Amino acid sequence: MELVRYRVPGQEAVLSGELKDNSVISPQGTFQLSNVRLLAPAQPSKIVCVGVNYRDHAKEMGRDLPERLMLFLKPPSTLIGPDDEIVLPESTRVDYEGEIAIVIKQRCKKIKAKDALSVILGYTCFNDVSDRVAQGWERNWIRAKAFDTSASLGPAIATPDELKEPFQIETRVNGAVRQKSDSSQLIFSIPQIIEEITSFMTLEPGDVIPTGTPSGVGPLSPGDTVEVEIKGIGILRNRVAR
């Protein structure tokens, strides 16, 4: 099942439904996908991001493999959906980072890795847009990671029965492939991530956990189109503006 949130043009209501065969099906009716506007498919209370979690990305960044999970937060105000515009901050370098994101199904804390799959609603595409200049000098990465439009999510949430690991991810800028990897390259697995985060933090329904980015990160420029695609989920596409 692929879950979406959407609006019908001319109406203010935000609706939820299932994406199937280029149609959106919900209690309010069935709509052609081309006749609705998809929104970010989750409404998180927080976005708990994992840093340096692909072996090849650690090498690309000149970093040793982390011994513990590296975490940082993005607030909900960073969130945009498919086809929304990424607005770059005043910086000389802002990068894309395509990621596989977990969406949490229920309120949970102190979940063991063996039970982690039971709290997952599904998976979606994520773009962790990052100001590398601010990241270079700022210790807590607020300016680097938490500016408006720096968290792109969508287009749908694929439930666990739809996907089998390893999840395949590809990032393209203006059609050119920049990142290509799969979840077998994660340093910390999805169950390990959930166990560590819930050991000290309560997760709420709809919370989002991006699992880290593979190698191939690079800069964005105004006018670019950036796409993050996960096989079985779809394509998260955004235009870039200043």
pLDDT score recorded for residue 172: 98
Q: Show the low-confidence residues of the chain (pLDDT under 50).
A: none
Predicted pLDDT at 63: 86
Containing 123, the helix (H) or strand (E) segment is strand 120-128
197 vs 120: CA distance, rounded Å: 13
Q: Identify the pLDDT of residue 166.
A: 96
Summarised one tens digit per residue, pLDDT across range 61-82 is: 888 999 999 999 999 999 999 9
CA distance 89 to 147: 8
User: Can you say how many angstroms the Cα of residue 193 is from the centroid of all Cα atoms in its chain?
Assistant: 15
Counted residue by residue, the chain has a size of 242
pLDDT in tens, 130-164: 999 999 999 999 999 999 999 999 999 999 999 98
In 89-150, where do the E strands start and end?
A: 94-96, 98-104, 120-128, 130-131
Domains of the chain: 40-241 (3.90.850.10)
pTM over 0.85: yes
| Phi and psi torsions of 174, nearest 5° | 55, 40
